[in-house]
């Protein structure tokens, strides 16, 4: 997998294959670019484990980005999603296999071309099977044009991707999740900060142990971020966890949240930043502590009573040695079951004054998505409204544009559940669900409200946190609540004054989250739980809007299902 | 991966998805059919490890076989090769990805249709990346029509596939073999007899250990073949090892070899059957020993000084309990470096009297393939004549038939090496090699001799055993020798009287093997070392013959490289 990215408006170019093409990038950007190919490095030294981040894409506002993705995998296809980029006018380059394109075959090169029309922090990752979790991901940073400045000041800019890591391959995981002899993936073995983590070698995979479980392997050190004392750092923190909701903290340092999913946040201060898979945040950190030592940066699992040990990194005050351990024990993070603190952070995130996009006052349609776990034909599945999603064989965008409506069910999926009788607080006696590949068709330019309603899973007294990610749009986050959403009274409490816009949002245990968006981006868009295993188990829906306004599809997205013969030479 | 196989001439049908469709198969066939899906079961109990055999295909001579291969893998493509079936008139259904077809995408169904025109023992397996080694394989048995009989008598007929097994996934192996930071796969951790083996759990992968390293798991028992005392069994023994050359033996029992690769052998008796990856043998075994006990069946690695422990199975005399251990220690196999015995077995295999196909007395062309290991652009490769094979992006069969000659090199590969000066007995000072995707184009209906010349590898005093497998043909095995092939004198010693015909043949350490075949099967055919890692590292060539006689290609084999737009609706 090589990513070659000539950026037309500035003539910079970089590649994950070699260092040489990074010349145009300032040294402080360069040092955080990790140059590891797709195949994951199993670095099982006692204090480290390396994931496979690829290059950070450094772009400027209104750049037209051309990414040539060459699939060098031996037997696997791929597709790359540009997470947070709305793809206005280019819905075919959203990179969602089965929705917007056919997979890219081994040996093939696929060219993505799109405009980045907002500054901020975004991500890219594989959107095919469980390839994201296998390590195919990276950061996108869209800067303001020269001469313009952000509404906050900082000296340096750094990106950190948080992740979790399993020893078992994603192939084994996917097989276990899909088979009738269902096998849950369990808790990840490690948490990674910018691709590095630690592992107790006494529990390590023995064939690998001899190779990599040693303390002298330089690849196996903790991630260390070198900072200059007395400065302000913008840290762009994002999460691409397969499963875990996380808290992130830097020992002794406060963090001021200023950006979320590419939108400016009215600043607020946290000691622990809660972050869910698919979210990005910018925080400002002042390096104003005792400069004679290093500090711990840590991340730990919240929302699940996890066995996964915290992830560690070193916040390195120059000129202390980057690998010098802080003199303190790494501080514990918040309690996993402190739901209040997480609710409160969600409520604290408002649009920054002077940067508020006002939402429409009312909506044209309300779709309630009850998050349910079901048994479907003897298989454990995740669902909405007891319907678990099945991907059809022909991508929706092509099927709809080329009138291949027989390739998926035309029976619309449910707009809600049995509001009167369903008790969200208990595991249901009847957990039976169905599957469907039907989609929600939205009137173009209409305003749509989505109520994500959480519930008890199939396990007694368990309700999980699901981070939902919408493609092709930002949505306004109108409110969060606990218990069952009240369709009469809760909308009266919506924040229509300064709601944040985001592309990924959590629905908290036994709670609800209310979203609003304008269906004004012609295309077909996935909306799904960003937890890789939940997504694979069917926790996703699809929206169509303005298909008649979509331009001529490039033939490069075709070649699968009923679109094989649509390819042009 | 489901295999659905309606056999037109007899209306039997079977499926690896369910037992119900096996009704037409006699009980003694049925019991050895293993019903395990593609994904490999990691059964790491101390005495067992289960591979992923799929159903045995039981066919009759001149059956037209229709196999619908549905690719249920999540992100991986596939292609299935029918090993030993010559595909006369159907070269597009040979199932060799990149040579005869494009890969089959996830969700797609590919229909193979071919005639089995010889009785005997064959195999099917994935021919894409390292998927065969990942467990996608099974047996094919072609019986004579009712009323006809084999030239030897037996009471029961059983198939046994031997294999080796790695803990690391084939994805990791392939990445290590292909990267500039070359990582050799090493010796396999287990040997499997009919998909089962054993593993020392103290060295097992720890996350799996808790799940499967227990003695009570019924899936983790050794393979046990129940036999009735006082009968003659035909055992169809085949090897699909990734790396290992094997010896197979049944404690206290002689085996009479009667078939090899679908051809009748002039019977000879062995205690140890040497078998190389891609070979099939039938042996007759009399159950005439003390019936009050069970016996060990064992397999062990030869030709490499391997750390892999012998594979064990139980030869179960009815009515002893199938899992009752024999009262003896499992007998040791032959010494790994006893090359003489293996040479002698190769020499002993002649065509059975009354079933001799006489070879042409002379050949039109002699191609010498020196088996070399090379360094190519800093990467370790296997080669012939210092040229390591690279697969182009468009399958040859389609490229040649549709005149896309620009898709691969038109410079013919070398017909030999520097016979005068190359010392095959030492590792070369200059190991540099090149890569090429060029092919050998053979005159239709000509007689071609292939001399496989072994040599020292890049490691001092090491020459490996390479089993070469030819697609689309059987070849006559004219001779084996030691040292450098003498082009003047060695052909005079060729066996033109009763040479066996085979499709897979070993070239022994520092030795040579001489083959002859008629280029009379229009198509494009792979010829390669059947060791999965050697194949991946470039130890393969390609032959074309009579491309102008190949009929209209089915569009189902297209859809990759430059053939994307050739697909028909």
Tens-place pLDDT, residues B151-192: 999 999 999 999 998 877 788 888 889 877 788 999 998 898
Cβ distance of B103 and A106 shorter than 8 Å: yes
Q: From A202, which residue of chain B is nearest by alpha-carbon distance? A: B206
User: For position A197, what pLDDT does the model report?
Assistant: 74
Measuring CA to CA, which residue among A543, A540, A536, A568 is closest to residue A555?
Answer: A568
Which tens digit of pLDDT belongs to each residue from B11-50? Answer: 222 222 222 222 222 222 222 223 222 223 333 222 222 2
On whether both A217 and A327 belong to a single domain, the answer is: yes
Cβ distance of A130 and B74 shorter than 8 Å: yes
Decide if B340 contacts B418 (C-beta within 8 A): no
Q: CA–CA separation, A66 vs A62, rounded Å?
A: 13
Tokens read off for A530: 């960003």
In the three-class reduction of DSSP (H, G, I as helix; E, B as strand; rest coil), residue B330 is classed as coil
Do the domain assignments include residue B317? Answer: yes
Decide if B214 contacts B45 (C-beta within 8 A): yes
What is the maximum alpha-carbon separation in chain B?
68
C-alpha separations of B426 from B385, B461, B483 in Å = 15, 7, 12
Give A272→chain B minimum CA distance, Å.
31
Q: CA–CA separation, B48 vs B218, rounded Å?
A: 10
The rounded percent of chain A whose pLDDT value lies above 90 is: 73
Do the domain assignments include residue A513? Answer: yes
Cβ distance of A75 and B203 shorter than 8 Å: no
Do the domain assignments include residue B308? Answer: yes
User: For position A220, what pLDDT does the model report?
Assistant: 61
C-alpha separations of A145 from A58, A63, A353, B520 in Å = 12, 10, 21, 68
Q: How many CB atoms lie under 10 A from the CB of residue B294?
A: 25
On whether both B244 and B317 belong to a single domain, the answer is: yes
Given A294, A318, A348, the domain boundary residue is A348
Give B564→chain A minimum CA distance, Å.
6
State the residue range of the domain holding A255.
2-63+116-348
CATH of the domain at B171: 2.60.40.420
Tokens read off for A178: 């899909």
Q: CA–CA separation, B81 vs B540, rounded Å?
A: 16
Given B348, B373, B402, the domain boundary residue is B348
Decide if B80 contacts B124 (C-beta within 8 A): yes
| Number of Cβ pairs < 8 A linking chain A and chain B | 108
**How many residues does this entry show for chain A?**
569
Q: Transcribe B22-86 into DSSP letters.
A: GTTS-HHHHTT-----SSPP----TT--B--B-PPEEEETTPEEEEEEE---SSB-B-EEEET--
Q: CA–CA separation, B78 vs B15, rounded Å?
A: 18
Tokens read off for B27: 């009980």
Decide if A7 contacts A116 (C-beta within 8 A): no
Give A301→chain B minimum CA distance, Å.
20
Do the domain assignments include residue A473? Answer: yes
User: For position B38, what pLDDT does the model report?
Assistant: 27
Which of A77, A204, A564 lies at the smallest CB-CB distance from B77?
Answer: A77
Q: From B38, which residue of chain A is nearest by alpha-carbon distance? A: A175
Burial of B497 (0-12, 13-18, 19+ CB in 10 A): exposed
A129 CB neighbours in chain B (<8 A) are 74-75
Tokens read off for B402: 């549709």
Q: Which of A564, A567, A568, A569 has the highest number of chain B CBs within 10 A, making it the mutation to test binding with B?
A: A564
On whether both B293 and B377 belong to a single domain, the answer is: no
B76 CB neighbours in chain A (<8 A) are 75-77
Pairing of strands A190-193, A280-286: unpaired
Cβ distance of A206 and B204 shorter than 8 Å: yes
Decide if A255 contacts A283 (C-beta within 8 A): yes
Q: CA–CA separation, B378 vs B386, rounded Å?
A: 14
A172 CB neighbours in chain B (<8 A) are 39, 42, 169
Which of B128, B168, B178 lies at the smallest CB-CB distance from A207?
Answer: B168
On whether both B388 and B295 belong to a single domain, the answer is: no
On whether both B281 and B217 belong to a single domain, the answer is: yes
Which of B106, B172, B567 lies at the smallest CB-CB distance from A565?
Answer: B567
Do the domain assignments include residue B315? Answer: yes
The region that residue A439 occupies, defined by phi over 0 for left and psi between -120 and 50 for alpha, beta otherwise, is beta
Which tens digit of pLDDT belongs to each residue from B521-562? Answer: 999 999 999 999 999 999 999 999 999 999 999 999 999 999
Measuring CA to CA, which residue among B351, B304, B307, B346 is closest to residue B465?
Answer: B304
Place of tokens 């055999």: B53
Q: Which of B74, B126, B131, B561 has the highest number of chain A CBs within 10 A, making it the mutation to test binding with A?
A: B74
Cβ distance of B207 and A106 shorter than 8 Å: no
On whether both A323 and A422 belong to a single domain, the answer is: no
Q: Mean pLDDT of residues grouped by 10 in chain A (569 residues)?
A: 26 24 23 28 27 66 88 88 98 98 93 94 94 86 93 95 86 83 89 77 48 51 90 97 98 98 98 98 98 97 94 93 92 95 98 98 98 94 97 97 96 96 95 97 98 96 97 98 97 98 98 98 98 97 98 95 82
Cβ distance of A171 and B169 shorter than 8 Å: yes
User: For position B217, what pLDDT does the model report?
Assistant: 55
Measuring CA to CA, which residue among B504, B450, B445 is closest to residue B81?
Answer: B504
Give A244→chain B minimum CA distance, Å.
19
Given B348, B375, B401, the domain boundary residue is B348
B77 CB neighbours in chain A (<8 A) are 75-77, 105-106
Give A110→chain B minimum CA distance, Å.
12
What is the 3-state composition of chain B as percent helix, strand, coil, each rounded to the nearest 5? 15, 35, 50
Q: Who's near A399: CB < 8 A, 6+ residues apart?
A: A392, A405, A407, A408, A561, A562
Q: Does the CA dihedral A333-A338-A342-A344 come out positive or negative?
A: negative
Cβ distance of A76 and B77 shorter than 8 Å: yes
Decide if A297 contacts A251 (C-beta within 8 A): yes
Measuring CA to CA, which residue among A545, A489, A495, A497 is closest to residue A364?
Answer: A545
User: For position B184, what pLDDT does the model report?
Assistant: 93
* Residues on B contacting A at a C-beta cutoff of 8 Å: 37, 39, 42, 74-78, 103, 105-108, 128-131, 167-169, 171-172, 174-175, 178-179, 189, 203-207, 393, 555, 559-562, 564-565, 567-569
On whether both A376 and A257 belong to a single domain, the answer is: no
On whether both B407 and B547 belong to a single domain, the answer is: yes
Q: From B201, which residue of chain A is nearest by alpha-carbon distance? A: A206
B207 CB neighbours in chain A (<8 A) are 167-168, 189, 203, 205
A179 CB neighbours in chain B (<8 A) are 37, 39
A393 CB neighbours in chain B (<8 A) are 107-108
On whether both B423 and B515 belong to a single domain, the answer is: yes
Measuring CA to CA, which residue among B288, B271, B201, B284 is closest to residue B236?
Answer: B284
DSSP H or E segment with residue A175: helix A170-178
Tokens read off for B357: 């196909």
Q: CA–CA separation, B193 vs B239, rounded Å?
A: 9
Decide if A510 contacts A463 (C-beta within 8 A): yes
Q: CA–CA separation, A124 vs A509, rounded Å?
A: 28
DSSP H or E segment with residue A156: strand A156-165
Residue B423: how many CA atoms within 13 Å on its side-chain side? Answer: 9
A212 CB neighbours in chain B (<8 A) are none
Q: In what order do the strands lie in the sheet with B255-260?
A: B190-193, B156-165, B232-239, B280-286, B255-260, B263-270
Cβ distance of A169 and B171 shorter than 8 Å: yes
Which of A74, A105, A207 lies at the smallest CB-CB distance from B174?
Answer: A74
On whether both B203 and B271 belong to a single domain, the answer is: yes
A78 CB neighbours in chain B (<8 A) are 75
Cβ distance of B175 and A39 shorter than 8 Å: yes
C-alpha separations of B87 from B6, B93, B94, B447 in Å = 18, 7, 6, 19
Burial of A25 (0-12, 13-18, 19+ CB in 10 A): middle
DSSP H or E segment with residue B387: strand B387-389
Measuring CA to CA, which residue among A71, A467, A400, A422 is closest to residue A243?
Answer: A467
On whether both A414 and A297 belong to a single domain, the answer is: no
Q: From B567, which residue of chain A is nearest by alpha-carbon distance? A: A565
B393 CB neighbours in chain A (<8 A) are 107-108
C-alpha separations of B336 from A566, B165, B198, B252, B480 in Å = 56, 19, 20, 20, 20
The region that residue B113 occupies, defined by phi over 0 for left and psi between -120 and 50 for alpha, beta otherwise, is beta
Q: CA–CA separation, A23 vs A11, rounded Å?
A: 12
User: For position A200, what pLDDT does the model report?
Assistant: 56
Do the domain assignments include residue B137? Answer: no
Dump strand ranges (E) for B180-332: 190-193, 223-227, 232-239, 245-250, 255-260, 263-270, 273-275, 280-286, 295-302, 311-317
End-to-end CA distance of chain A: 23
A76 CB neighbours in chain B (<8 A) are 75-77
B169 CB neighbours in chain A (<8 A) are 169, 171-172
Do the domain assignments include residue A78? Answer: no
A105 CB neighbours in chain B (<8 A) are 77, 103, 105, 560
Which stretches in chain B have pLDDT values below 50?
1-53, 204-215
Q: CA–CA separation, B76 vs B79, rounded Å?
A: 10
B559 CB neighbours in chain A (<8 A) are 559, 564, 567
Decide if B249 contacts B199 (C-beta within 8 A): no
Q: Who's near A183: CB < 8 A, 6+ residues apart?
A: A176, A177
User: For position A201, what pLDDT does the model report?
Assistant: 55
On whether both A379 and A246 belong to a single domain, the answer is: no
Give B403→chain A minimum CA distance, Å.
15
Kindly provide the ipTM of the predicted complex, given to two decimals: 0.83
**How many residues does this entry show for chain B?**
569
Q: CA–CA separation, B299 vs B450, rounded Å?
A: 31
Tokens read off for B475: 């070849």
Do the domain assignments include residue A80? Answer: no
Domain count across chain B: 2
């Amino acid at each position: 997998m090589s990513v070659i990215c000539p950026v037309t408006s500035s003539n910079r170019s970089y590649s994950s294959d070699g260092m040489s093409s990074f010349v145009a990038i300032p040294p402080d950007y360069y040092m955080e670019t990790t140059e590891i190919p797709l195949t994951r490095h199993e670095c099982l030294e006692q204090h480290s484990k390396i994931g496979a981040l690829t290059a950070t894409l450094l772009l400027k506002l209104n750049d037209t980005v051309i990414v040539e993705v060459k699939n060098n995998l031996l037997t696997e296809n791929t597709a790359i999603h540009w997470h947070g980029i709305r793809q206005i006018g280019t819905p075919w380059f959203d990179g969602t296999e089965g929705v917007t394109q056919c997979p890219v075959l081994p040996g093939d090169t696929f060219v993505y071309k799109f405009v980045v029309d907002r500054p901020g922090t975004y991500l890219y990752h594989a959107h095919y099977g469980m390839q994201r979790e296998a390590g195919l991901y990276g950061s996108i940073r869209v800067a303001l044009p020269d001469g313009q400045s952000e509404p906050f000041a900082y000296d340096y800019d750094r990106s950190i991707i948080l992740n979790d890591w399993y020893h078992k391959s994603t192939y084994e995981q996917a097989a276990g999740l899909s088979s009738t002899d269902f096998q849950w993936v369990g808790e990840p073995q490690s948490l990674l900060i910018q691709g590095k983590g630690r592992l107790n070698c006494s529990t390590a995979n023995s064939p690998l142990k001899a190779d990599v479980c040693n303390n002298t392997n330089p690849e196996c050190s903790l991630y260390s971020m070198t900072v200059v004392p007395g400065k302000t750092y913008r840290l762009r923190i994002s999460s691409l966890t397969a499963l875990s909701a996380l808290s992130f903290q830097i020992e002794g340092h406060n963090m001021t949240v200023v950006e979320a999913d590419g939108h400016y946040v009215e600043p607020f201060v946290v000691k622990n930043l809660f972050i869910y898979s698919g979210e990005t945040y910018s925080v400002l950190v002042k390096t104003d502590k005792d400069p004679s030592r290093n500090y711990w940066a840590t991340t730990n699992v919240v929302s699940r009573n996890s066995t996964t040990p915290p992830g560690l990194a070193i916040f390195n005050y120059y000129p202390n040695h980057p690998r010098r351990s802080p003199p303190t024990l790494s501080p514990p993070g918040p309690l996993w079951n402190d739901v209040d603190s997480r609710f409160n952070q969600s409520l604290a995130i408002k649009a920054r004054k002077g940067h508020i996009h006002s939402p429409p006052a009312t909506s044209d349609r309300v779709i309630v998505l009850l998050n349910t776990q079901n048994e479907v034909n003897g298989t454990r599945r995740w669902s909405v409204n007891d319907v678990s999603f099945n991907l059809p064989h022909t991508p929706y965008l092509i099927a709809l544009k080329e009138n291949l409506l027989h390739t998926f069910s035309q029976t619309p999926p449910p707009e809600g559940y049995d509001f009167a009788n369903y008790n969200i607080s208990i595991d249901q006696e009847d957990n039976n669900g169905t599957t469907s590949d039907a989609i929600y068709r939205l009137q173009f330019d209409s305003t749509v409200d989505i109520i994500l309603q959480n519930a008890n899973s199939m396990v007694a007294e368990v309700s999980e946190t699901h981070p939902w990610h919408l493609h092709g749009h930002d949505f306004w986050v109108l409110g969060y609540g606990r218990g069952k959403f009240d369709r009469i009274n809760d909308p009266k409490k919506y924040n229509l004054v300064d709601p944040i816009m985001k592309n990924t949002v959590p629905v908290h245990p036994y709670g609800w989250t209310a979203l609003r968006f304008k269906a004004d981006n012609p295309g077909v868009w996935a909306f799904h739980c960003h937890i890789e295993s939940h997504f694979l188990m069917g926790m996703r829906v699809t929206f169509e809007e303005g298909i008649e306004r979509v331009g001529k599809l490039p033939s490069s997205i075709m070649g699968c299902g009923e679109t094989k013969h649509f390819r042009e030479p």
